[in-house]
């Protein structure tokens, strides 16, 4: 076997690989000898058929397998022997007709091409100086969360038959909706519970039911929003014939120990303590989000090296598909497609650069994702995917999805990658000089400045 480097321009590498027909034949004979003892052919005792006869019977099929193995092995070897790591899978291009190679009439010759990952020295992360915004949980936030829980435990009692409905009342209604006099799909319901003021129905619907009494028939006229989910209804005028079957008033929910015990806790103080802990965790995550953004911005600024074009192209295509499938925000509405593509290509370059930097830092620092954390993440992902597929009418169990991941290393890698990223970020934060800065709740809640974690 011979490997010749044909070109080396930037990160682009091309090799010519030559494997003689004689060498391939040796591999074929060796393989036939391995299986000879297992072959049972008519006219021969088991394992006694000569190799020459086996070659006639199985040679072409086995040679195809051997060629595939040789191509895979040598394609990788061409790079690893030179201490190069392909950024993407190497692509072979055959010089001779593969049929001639299989039949032993020609040597195996092919070009193999791939971009390689750049070699660079990451910055010393211990020299990083970062500011982490922090904020104590205001007592008002705990009270607000407590009130929200109380609202979720809201119960309703029937008003008198002559009582008119008020804001916050619950109505039990039957309705039929029509557009241009015709009923439409999803426009009919019976025994539907609607809390007035909840804004769960089309804008203008709930307001027209204020003052309705049990037994009333109300004609409700509304216009579907222009951005309504169904294109057939978006922007259309509709009329709903509504029958009010019951009017219920909200009962006061006492925030006390009884509420806490109803939720499975010991006391109101216990409930408040749990809520505060949850809010503190939320605030901590927001704080970390700002810190991570600042960290990635500094890593991006500190590194400048050539990026594999194929990786950038793939990242850009993924971003652009998301852009095309969603509505433009106010910032992007007046920009041309070329301007947007230029901006999003820069984002793709940033993501690839940061991914490579974090990978190199993690590799040199021997950062690992514990197997138990990876397995837990895989199981959670399998559960989510199974539930989503079941909602679409597919009879798929979490065990079947889990089996798919267990048999597909590439799929597992997609789950491992974000876990590894977070481990590396934690590693860097532990070694960087981090100063806590107290900020207001409003400031902490703001979207972090900059170009996004990887955006």
Q: Which domains does the chain have, with CATH numbers?
A: 2-115 (3.30.70.1050), 154-250 (3.10.50.40), 267-445 (1.10.3120.10)
Range 141-167 burial, b when 16+ CB lie within 10 A, else e? bbeebbeebeeeeeebeebeeeeebee
pLDDT of residue 453: 42
Q: Is pLDDT of 454 > 50?
A: no
Cα–Cα distance for residue pair 234/216, rounded to 1 Å: 29
Mean predicted lDDT score pLDDT of the chain: 90
The more confidently predicted of residues 76 and 118 is: 118
- Rounded to an integer, the average pLDDT of 373-397 is 90
Q: Is pLDDT of 329 > 80?
A: no
Residue 19 — φ and ψ, nearest 5°?
A: -130, 120
pLDDT of residue 41: 64
pLDDT of residue 42: 66
pLDDT of residue 131: 96
* pLDDT bucket at 344, cuts 50 / 70 / 90: very high
Report how far apart, in Å, the C-alpha atoms of 373 and of each of 174, 240, 264, 409 are. 49, 52, 29, 16
pLDDT of residue 252: 84
pLDDT of residue 32: 81
Nearest residue to 8 via CA among 312, 306, 303:
306
pLDDT of residue 29: 84
* pLDDT bucket at 28, cuts 50 / 70 / 90: confident
- Rounded to an integer, the average pLDDT of 374-383 is 93
Q: H or E element: which one contains 132?
A: strand 129-134
- Rounded to an integer, the average pLDDT of 316-329 is 87
**pLDDT, tens only, 420-436:** 999 999 999 999 999 99
pLDDT of residue 449: 59
**pLDDT, tens only, 217-256:** 999 999 999 888 888 899 999 999 999 999 999 988 889 9
DSSP string, 46-111: TT-S-HHHHHHHHHHHHHHHHHHHHHHHHHHHHHHTTT--BSS--EEEESS-HHHHHTTSS-EEEE
Contact between residue 1 and residue 18 where contact means Cβ atoms under 8 Å apart: yes
Nearest residue to 297 via CA among 342, 357, 365:
357
Global confidence as pTM: 0.74
- Rounded to an integer, the average pLDDT of 105-111 is 91
pLDDT of residue 95: 85
Cα–Cα distance for residue pair 189/171, rounded to 1 Å: 13
């Amino acid at each position: 076997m011979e490997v010749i480097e044909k070109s080396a321009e930037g990160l682009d590498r091309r090799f010519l690989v030559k494997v003689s027909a004689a060498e391939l034949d040796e591999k074929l004979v060796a393989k036939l000898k391995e299986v000879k003892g297992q072959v049972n052919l008519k006219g021969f005792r088991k394992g006694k058929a000569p190799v020459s006869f086996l070659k006639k019977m199985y040679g072409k099929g086995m040679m195809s397998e051997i060629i595939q193995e040789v191509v895979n092995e040598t394609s990788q070897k061409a790079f690893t022997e030179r201490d190069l790591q392909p950024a993407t899978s190497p692509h072979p291009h055959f010089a001779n007709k593969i049929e001639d190679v299989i039949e032993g009439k020609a040597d195996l010759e092919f070009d193999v091409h791939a971009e390689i990952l750049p070699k660079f020295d990451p910055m010393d992360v211990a020299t990083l100086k970062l500011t982490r915004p922090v904020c104590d949980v205001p007592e008002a936030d705990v009270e607000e969360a407590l009130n929200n829980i109380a609202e979720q435990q809201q119960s309703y009692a029937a008003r008198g038959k002559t009582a008119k409905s008020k804001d916050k009342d619950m109505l039990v209604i039957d309705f039929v909706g029509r557009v241009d006099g015709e009923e439409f799909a999803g426009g009919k319901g019976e025994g539907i519970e609607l809390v007035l003021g909840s804004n769960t129905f089309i804008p203008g619907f709930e307001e027209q039911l204020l003052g309705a009494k049990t037994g009333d028939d109300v004609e409700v006229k509304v216009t579907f929003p222009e951005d309504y989910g169904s294109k057939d209804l978006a922007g259309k005028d509709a009329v709903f014939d509504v029958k009010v079957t019951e009017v219920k008033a909200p009962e006061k929910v006492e925030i006390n120990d009884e509420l806490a015990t109803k939720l499975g806790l010991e006391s109101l103080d216990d409930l408040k303590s749990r809520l505060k802990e949850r809010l503190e965790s939320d605030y901590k995550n927001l704080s970390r989000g700002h810190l991570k953004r600042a960290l990635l911005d500094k890593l991006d600024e500190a590194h400048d090296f050539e990026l594999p074009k194929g990786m950038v192209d793939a990242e850009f295509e993924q971003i652009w598909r998301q852009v095309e499938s969603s509505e433009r925000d106010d910032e992007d509405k007046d920009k041309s497609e070329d301007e947007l593509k230029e901006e999003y290509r820069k984002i793709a370059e940033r993501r690839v650069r940061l991914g490579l930097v974090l990978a190199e830092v993690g590799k040199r620092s021997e950062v690992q994702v514990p197997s138990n954390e990876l397995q837990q993440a895989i199981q959670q992902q399998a559960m989510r995917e199974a539930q989503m597929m079941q909602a679409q009418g597919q009879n798929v169990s979490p065990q079947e999805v889990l089996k798919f991941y267990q048999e597909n290393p590439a799929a597992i890698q997609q789950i491992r990658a974000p876990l590894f990223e977070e481990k590396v970020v934690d590693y860097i934060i532990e070694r960087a000089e981090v100063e806590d800065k107290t900020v207001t709740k409003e400031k902490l809640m703001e979207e972090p400045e900059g170009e996004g974690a990887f955006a």
